[in-house]
Amino acid sequence: MTAAFDFKQYLRERRADIEQALDADLPRPPACPPIIADAMRYSVLAGGKRLRPILTLASAEAVLDHDGADPKLREAGLALTMPAACAVELIHTYSLVHDDLPAMDDDNLRRGQPTSHVVYGEGVAILAGDALLTHAFELLARQPSNEPFGSNERRLRALGRLAEAAGAVGMVGGQALDIRTTGAKPENGEAEGPLSTTAELREIHERKTGALICAAAGTGAVLAGGSREIVAAIEAYAAHLGLAFQIIDDILDVEGSAEELGKTAGKDAAFSKPTYPMLYGLRRSRELATEAVLAAQQALADAGLSGPLHEIANWVVTRNH
């Protein structure tokens, strides 16, 4: 990276690339019924930070730059990583559609517009979420005609990594723990009540938020051909980044507005959700987020990695939505 690097321009370009790829990759009629196609596109193309797919691409860049790939190979490597970046965003969006359902967080606003179940009804919203999750793995499983030798094994590793992050040991498990510790009552009993320890809160965040952030970065590194040591360093970076991201999310739920956030503010307190501000207060929570970002950047430095990942960490901790 040089002093002239324009990070804001980088974000704009990456978002535009991702938006274009998502628009092209989503199924359309007559391949699928119009109602499902519409509901999928409604949630996916509503905007958002696109942090996770940007992480996938930026991690691939970090590996390719570390290995000294020439410009043509670098662009080819990023092109092969784009389907995985889109898959990551589809998985993330599916989780938001399902989290917003009345049986979960019961929210009516997401990315500045009415949530999927408000517009399409609960049944179609559930099916749209299912379709997004399934289509993500369809994208990952496709074998491009220009795939270089050895890439098939990388795609299998990426498939396994993302499936693990999205499933019972990752996001699904985190959501189950979240439900257990809030005011929501499971079908066969009562909620267990507020968390008593930071370790319990951190486990929820690591599963529900951190797992996919880690997998997004790791997938990009794997597909770009990173060594196991480099992939491990990038995933260590992403683990710290995921913690910082969630702490800032908790803070913004206290300090932000619906207009800024694009979703309902103040819901954590209203539902007695465990958060970092609840346990630590706002000042200490900000300090913890900063410490996590510094740890993330140190993981990159220790591995000799450069590129936009460093600036992404700063962006995560200074954002207002």
Whether residue 258 has pLDDT greater than 50: yes
Per-residue pLDDT tens over the stretch 213-238: 999 999 999 999 999 999 999 999 99
Instruction: Render 263-289 in DSSP notation, one character per residue.
Output: S-SSHHHHTT---HHHHH-HHHHHHHH
273 located within any domain: yes
Q: What is the pLDDT of residue 1?
A: 45
1 located within any domain: no
pLDDT band at 271 (very low <50, low <70, confident <90, very high): low
Give the residue, 80 or 173, on which the prediction is more confident. 173
Structurally, the chain folds into a number of domains equal to 1
Instruction: Estimate to the nearest angstrom the gap between the alpha carbon of 198 and the chain centroid.
Output: 22
CATH number for 218: 1.10.600.10
Q: What is the pLDDT of residue 149?
A: 64
* CA atoms lying within 13 Å on the CB side of residue 246: 24
70 located within any domain: yes
pLDDT band at 188 (very low <50, low <70, confident <90, very high): very low
Q: What is the mean pLDDT of the chain?
A: 88
Of 293, 67, 292, residue with least CA distance to 202: 292
Q: What is the pLDDT of residue 7?
A: 93
CA distance 31 to 50: 26
Q: What is the pLDDT of residue 270?
A: 60
Kindly tell me the burial class for residue 151, based on how many C-beta atoms sit within 10 Å of its own C-beta (0-12, 13-18, 19 or more).
Answer: middle
Over the Cα atoms of the chain, what is R_g? 19
47 located within any domain: yes
- Percentage of the chain exceeding pLDDT 90: 69
Whether residue 144 has pLDDT greater than 80: no
2 located within any domain: no
106 located within any domain: yes
What is the average pLDDT across 107-123? Answer: 94
Q: What is this structure's pTM?
A: 0.91
185 located within any domain: yes
Per-residue pLDDT tens over the stretch 50-90: 999 999 999 999 999 987 878 878 888 888 899 999 999 99
Q: What is the pLDDT of residue 31?
A: 94
Instruction: Render 84-99 in DSSP notation, one character per residue.
Output: HHHHHHHHHHHHHHHH
**Which residues sit opposite 110 in a β-bridge?**
113
Whether residue 22 has pLDDT greater than 50: yes
> Residue for token digits 């700063």?
314
288 located within any domain: yes
Would you say 229 and 215 are in contact if contact means Cβ atoms under 8 Å apart?
no
Range of the domain at 291: 7-318
DSSP reduced 3-state for 220: helix
**Which residues sit opposite 109 in a β-bridge?**
114
Whether residue 195 has pLDDT greater than 50: no
90, amino acid identity: L
What is the average pLDDT across 299-321? Answer: 92
Phi, psi (5° rounding) for residue 319? -70, 160
CA distance 285 to 287: 5
